Structure 1
Amino acid sequence: MKIANHNNIAYTKAGTFEETRFEKVHNVIFKDSQEPSILVAQEIASLIKDKEANHQPCVLGLATGSSPIKVYEELVRMHKEEGLSFSNVVTFNLDEYYPMDKSNIQSYFYFMHEHLFNHIDILPENINIPNGKVSADDLYQYCIDYEMKIKAVGGLDFQLLGIGRTGHIGFNEPGSHLNSRTRNITLDHITRVDAAPAFLGIDNVPRKAITMGIGTVMSAKRIVLLAWGANKAEIVKETIEGNITPEVPATYLQNHGNTTFILDEGASLELTRVKTPWLVTACVWDESLKLKAVVWLSELLGKSILKLTDSDYNNNGMSGLLTEEGTAYDLNIKMFNKMQQTITGWPGGKPNANDSNRPERAMPEKKRIIIFSPHPDDDVISMGGTFDRLVEQGHDVHIAYQTSGNIAVSDEEALKFAEITQSLCPDCDETQSIINFLKIKTDNDIDSEEVRKLKGLIRRSESLAATRYLDLSDNNVHFLDLPFYETGTIKKNNISDDDVVIMKALIDEIKPHQIYAAGDLADPHGTHKVCLDALFIALKELKHNDYMNDCWVWLYRGAWHEWESYQIEMAVPMSPDQVLKKRHAIFYHQSQKDGVMFQGGDSREFWVRAEDRNRLTAKKYNDLGLADYAAIEAFKRYHF
Structure 2
Amino acid sequence: MKITDNKNIAYTKAGMFEETRFEKIHNVIFKESKEASILVAQEIATLIREKEQQNQPCVLGLATGSSPIKVYEELVRMHKEEGLSFANVVTFNLDEYYPMDKGNIQSYFYFMHEHLFNHIDILPENVNIPNGTVSSEDLYQYCIDYEMKIKSYGGLDFQLLGIGRTGHIGFNEPGSHYNSGTRSITLDHITRVDAAPAFLGIENVPRKAITMGIGTVMGAKRIILLGWGGNKAEILKKTIEGEITSEVPATYLQNHDNTTFVIDEAAAAELTRVKTPWLVTNCVWEESLKLKAVVWLSERTEKPILKLTDKDYNNNGMSGLLTEEGTAYDLNIKMFNKLQHTITGWPGGKPNADDSNRPERASIPKKRVIIFSPHPDDDVISMGGTFDRLVEQGHEVHIAYQTSGNIAVSDEEALKFAEITQALCPDCEETQSIINFLKIKTDNDIDSVEVRQLKGLIRRSESLGATRYLGLKDENVHFLDLPFYETGTIKKNNISQADIEIMCNLIETIKPHQIYAAGDLADPHGTHKVCLDTLFEALKVLKPNTYMNDCWVWLYRGAWHEWESYQIEMAVPMSPDQVLRKRHAIFYHQSQKDGVMFQGGDSREFWVRAEDRNRLTAKKYNDLGLAEYAAIEAFKRYYF
TM-score by length of 2: 0.99
Q: Deviations over 1:104-143 (max 9, x none)?
A: 0000000000000000000000000000000000000000
Q: Which residue in 2 is equivalent to 1:375?
A: 375
Q: Is the 8 A contact 1:309 1:329 kept in 2?
A: yes
Q: Secondary structure at the match of 2:185?
A: strand
Q: Which residue in 1 is equivalent to 2:71?
A: 71
Q: Which residue in 2 is equivalent to 1:233?
A: 233
Q: In the aligned structure 1, how far is the partner of 2:537 from the partner of 2:595?
A: 35
Residue 162 of structure 1 pairs with residue 200 of structure 2: no
2:429 aligned partner, one-letter code: D
Q: Which residue in 1 is equivalent to 2:630?
A: 630
2:555 aligned partner, one-letter code: L
Question: Any residues of structure 2 matched to 1:272-291 within 5 Å, and which?
Answer: 272-291=272-291
Q: In the aligned structure 1, how far is the partner of 2:358 from the partner of 2:101?
A: 58
Q: In the aligned structure 2, how far is the partner of 1:227 from the partner of 1:520?
A: 17
Q: CA deviation at 1:560?
A: 1.2
Q: In the aligned structure 1, how far is the partner of 2:384 from the partner of 2:271?
A: 33
1:114 aligned partner, one-letter code: E
Q: Which residue in 2 is equivalent to 1:589?
A: 589
Q: CA deviation at 1:7?
A: 1.4
Q: Which residue in 1 is equivalent to 2:14?
A: 14
Q: Which residue in 1 is equivalent to 2:252?
A: 252
Q: Secondary structure at the match of 2:558?
A: coil
1:608 aligned partner, one-letter code: V
Q: Which residue in 1 is equivalent to 2:100?
A: 100
Q: In the aligned structure 2, how far is the partner of 1:43 from the partner of 1:349?
A: 51
Task: Name structure 2 gaps, 5 residues minimum.
Answer: none
Q: Which residue in 2 is equivalent to 1:25?
A: 25
Q: Is the 8 A contact 2:523 2:600 kept in 1?
A: no
Q: Secondary structure at the match of 1:65?
A: coil
Q: CA deviation at 1:433?
A: 0.2
Question: Any residues of structure 2 matched to 1:551-570 within 5 Å, and which?
Answer: 551-570=551-570
Q: In the aligned structure 1, how far is the partner of 2:302 from the partner of 2:526?
A: 36
Question: Any residues of structure 2 matched to 1:474-513 within 5 Å, and which?
Answer: 474-513=474-513
Q: In the aligned structure 2, how far is the partner of 1:404 from the partner of 1:253?
A: 42
Q: Which moved more, 1:313-322 or 1:149-158?
A: 149-158
Q: CA deviation at 1:521?
A: 2.3
Q: Secondary structure at the match of 1:494?
A: coil
1:77 aligned partner, one-letter code: R
Q: Secondary structure at the match of 1:55?
A: coil
Residue 546 to residue 395, structure 1, CA distance change in 2 (3 Å): same
Question: Any residues of structure 2 matched to 1:228-377 within 5 Å, and which?
Answer: 228-377=228-377
Question: Any residues of structure 2 matched to 1:165-180 within 5 Å, and which?
Answer: 165-180=165-180
Q: Secondary structure at the match of 1:617?
A: helix
Q: CA deviation at 1:2?
A: 5.5
1:180 aligned partner, one-letter code: S
Question: Any residues of structure 2 matched to 1:169-208 within 5 Å, and which?
Answer: 169-208=169-208
Q: Which residue in 2 is equivalent to 1:395?
A: 395
Q: In the aligned structure 1, how far is the partner of 2:344 from the partner of 2:64?
A: 45
Q: Is the 8 A contact 2:359 2:569 kept in 1?
A: yes
Question: Any residues of structure 2 matched to 1:106-185 within 5 Å, and which?
Answer: 106-185=106-185
Q: Which residue in 2 is equivalent to 1:536?
A: 536
Q: In the aligned structure 1, how far is the partner of 2:505 from the partner of 2:85?
A: 42
Q: Deviations over 1:362-404 (max 9, x none)?
A: 1210000000000000000000000000000000000000000
Report sequence identity in percent: 88
Q: Is the 8 A contact 2:490 2:525 kept in 1?
A: no
Question: Any residues of structure 2 matched to 1:366-515 within 5 Å, and which?
Answer: 366-515=366-515
Q: Is the 8 A contact 1:3 1:257 kept in 2?
A: no
Q: Is the 8 A contact 1:176 1:214 kept in 2?
A: yes
2:68 aligned partner, one-letter code: P
Q: CA deviation at 1:558?
A: 3.4
Q: Is the 8 A contact 1:99 1:132 kept in 2?
A: yes
Q: Is the 8 A contact 1:2 1:256 kept in 2?
A: no
Q: Deviations over 1:125-172 (max 9, x none)?
A: 000000000000000000000001111112100000000000000000
Q: Which residue in 2 is equivalent to 1:613?
A: 613
Q: Is the 8 A contact 1:414 1:455 kept in 2?
A: yes
Task: Name structure 1 gaps, 5 residues minimum.
Answer: none
Q: Is the 8 A contact 2:520 2:562 kept in 1?
A: no
Q: In the aligned structure 2, how far is the partner of 1:465 from the partner of 1:363?
A: 33
Q: CA deviation at 1:194?
A: 0.3
Residue 573 of structure 1 pairs with residue 573 of structure 2: yes
1:310 aligned partner, one-letter code: D
Q: Secondary structure at the match of 1:270?
A: coil
2:109 aligned partner, one-letter code: F
Q: Is the 8 A contact 1:4 1:26 kept in 2?
A: no
Over aligned residues, Cα RMSD in angstroms? 0.8
Residue 524 to residue 606, structure 1, CA distance change in 2 (3 Å): closer
Q: Secondary structure at the match of 1:137?
A: coil
Q: In the aligned structure 2, how far is the partner of 1:527 from the partner of 1:241?
A: 31
Q: In the aligned structure 2, how far is the partner of 1:525 from the partner of 1:172?
A: 23
Q: In the aligned structure 2, how far is the partner of 1:7 from the partner of 1:139?
A: 38
Q: CA deviation at 1:6?
A: 2.4
Q: Is the 8 A contact 1:229 1:523 kept in 2?
A: no
Q: CA deviation at 1:5?
A: 2.8
Q: Deviations over 1:572-595 (max 9, x none)?
A: 000000000000000000000111
Q: CA deviation at 1:4?
A: 5.1
Q: In the aligned structure 2, how far is the partner of 1:98 from the partner of 1:172?
A: 14
Q: Is the 8 A contact 1:306 1:625 kept in 2?
A: yes
1:365 aligned partner, one-letter code: P
Q: In the aligned structure 2, how far is the partner of 1:290 from the partner of 1:139?
A: 57
Q: Secondary structure at the match of 2:490?
A: coil
Q: In the aligned structure 1, how far is the partner of 2:3 from the partner of 2:91?
A: 26
Q: In the aligned structure 2, how far is the partner of 1:619 from the partner of 1:506?
A: 37
Q: Secondary structure at the match of 2:137?
A: helix
Q: Secondary structure at the match of 1:16?
A: coil
Q: Is the 8 A contact 1:524 1:530 kept in 2?
A: no
